[in-house]
Amino acid sequence: MRVGVLALQGDVSEHIDLLRQLGAESFEVRSAQQVATLDGLILPGGESTTIAQLMRYYGIETAIQEAYARGLALYGTCAGLILLAKRIEGRKDGSLALLDVTAVRNGFGRQINSFEADLSIPVLGEPPFRAVFIRAPYVRDPGPDVEILARYEERIVAVRSDRLLASAFHPELSGDPRMHAYFLQMIAAKQPTAV
């Protein structure tokens, strides 16, 4: 299973380390050509506006949209959630515009308001997941096909819709591999079985 991590700006190596620990072939993705070779792609935290501009500049935005249409699974964390969203509060439209939600940027405040919290995420089982929120967004207005996976203080912080997974927090900073394992399970469930 080949799972890339978009490496234009933001967190990258921690995602790769966790994916490799879980047995996935993982590497940095910096070109549109690399996207076509993947089973899954993580859009990491960072600065969403910068990442979106770089994706457009390098032609990666279109490559991701086309690969998703062919079956690619995507996981957006923090800024990655914003990149996946169809709607972004205070903006015209989303970047990739694949996930039927509204993303609220800096929904919990500025950098100084960053925090950690234990989340109940039923698809991961017990114990609670220690989530790291850094200038985190949250989700509003999920569409009918969007499954809410977790909330923090009534705000939606993790969702799934078919081959799209998104979390407002940084799972790669927790040391807990369960969100990444869940993403790998999503990918495996969509792959054709050998006859």
The answer to whether residue 170 is catalytic is: yes
The active-site residue out of 15, 61, 78, 180 is 78
Q: Select which of 14, 15, 28, 172 is catalytic.
A: 172
What the block records as the tokens of 42 is 């993580």
The secondary structure of 114-165 as a DSSP string is: -EEEEE--GGG-SS-EEEEESS--EEES--TTPEEEEEETTEEEEEEETTEE
CB within 8 A of 27, min separation 6: which ones?
Answer: 2, 4, 5, 16, 34
User: Does 192 sit behind a cis peptide bond, omega within 30 degrees of 0 on the bond before it?
Assistant: no
Please confirm, yes or no, whether 116 is among the known catalytic residues: no
- Supply the pTM of this predicted model: 0.95
Record: fold of 2-190: Rossmann fold (3.40.50)
Residue 61: active-site member? no
Delimit the domains of the chain by residue range: 2-190
Annotated catalytic residue: which of 15, 61, 170, 180?
170
**What is the model's pLDDT at position 37?**
94
Q: Left (φ > 0), alpha (ψ -120 to 50) or beta: where does 71 sit?
A: left
Q: Given this model, what pLDDT does residue 194 score?
A: 44
Q: pLDDT at position 110, please?
A: 78
pLDDT values of the chain reduced to their tens digit, one per residue, 195 residues: 999 999 998 889 999 999 999 999 999 999 999 999 999 999 999 999 999 999 999 999 999 999 999 999 999 999 999 999 999 998 766 689 999 999 999 888 777 778 999 999 999 999 999 999 999 999 999 999 999 999 999 999 999 999 999 999 999 999 999 999 999 999 999 765 444
